[in-house]
Structure 1
Amino acid sequence: MKIYLPPYDPNDFVTYFLIGIWDLRTGEDEWPWHFHYEYGQYLSAKKRKCKLQRAAKFDTKEEALNFFDSWVSSYSHGQFFRCEILECQKRK
């Protein structure tokens, strides 16, 4: 039995960025879901905490950071949250 693997071409992938957030009051120093992305907390396009399915996707890291900064300034407990920008790829 032969297994066909298509040739790898980096142009076949689209890169996008997600904002992973966590609350400093939990005692975590970094985003705690590195090995379980489906359970992590993210920011949605409506500036709400959400799971992976509703997470806002950004074309650049700068867009994601600006979005997080605007959320922190508008959210009442924003000073307690930190973000990690996650770079993701998917096939076109």
Structure 2
Amino acid sequence: MTEQQLFAVLLHKGKTKRLIKMLKKEYPDKWQRAYRNVTVAYEELKDRYVHKSFFQVGVYDPALSDNWPWHVHYHEGLYLSEKQRVCKMGKAAVFTDIIKARNHFHTWKGNTKYKMEVIEFKQVVAVPTSSTIDDASAWQTNRPALNSV
């Protein structure tokens, strides 16, 4: 198991519970020792990753709703793509700065018909070990995987 796979298991509460349950079943005598090792591994890996905010522009028709109506079901919402077209979540433009997201909407021709809401989501990203500064530009990532949000 690689470090990233282990951290994905440790970060996800359900996956951690399944791992511990599997350890209890297969190793009834030693599962507590494994649990302590999992805890130590999480504490060691946790400092190498941070939660970083990303933003998407959610659009909605004000004639149909007073605000963005997909707060519970983000994947069903309407977003603005890189090419400034209304799209679903898979093709939505992702921004690292809220101001860039707002500017993207306001330069769009359809901004008179639709209203916007900036949708923030957080993703766990790795911080390089050589980077000790908190400058976000030092460890920018490309487009994040949205299935882990």
With the shorter chain as reference, the TM-score category is: 0.7 to 0.9
Identity of aligned residues (%): 33
Work out whether 1:50 is the aligned partner of 2:87: yes
Q: Which has the higher contact order (CA 8 A, sep 6+)?
A: 1
Distance 2:92 2:51 in 1: 19
Q: Which residue of the partner structure matches residue 16 of structure 1? A: 54
Q: Give the helix-richer structure, 1 or 2.
A: 2
Q: Give the strand-richer structure, 1 or 2.
A: 1
Counterparts of residues 4-83 of structure 1 (less than 5 Å): 4=38, 6-7=42-43, 11-26=49-64, 28-71=65-108, 74-75=109-110, 78-83=111-116
TM-score (norm 2): 0.52
| Deviations 1:25-81 (CA, angstroms, capped at 9, x unpaired) | 22x10000000000000000010111111110111111101110001xx23xx3121
**Counterpart amino acid of 1:82?**
K
1:25–1:80 Cα contact (<8 Å) kept:
no
The list of structure 1 runs, each at least 4 consecutive aligned residues, that deviate by more than 6 angstroms after superposition, is: none
- Over the aligned positions, Cα root-mean-square deviation in angstroms equals 2.0
Distance 1:25 1:57 in 2: 26
TM-score (norm 1): 0.82
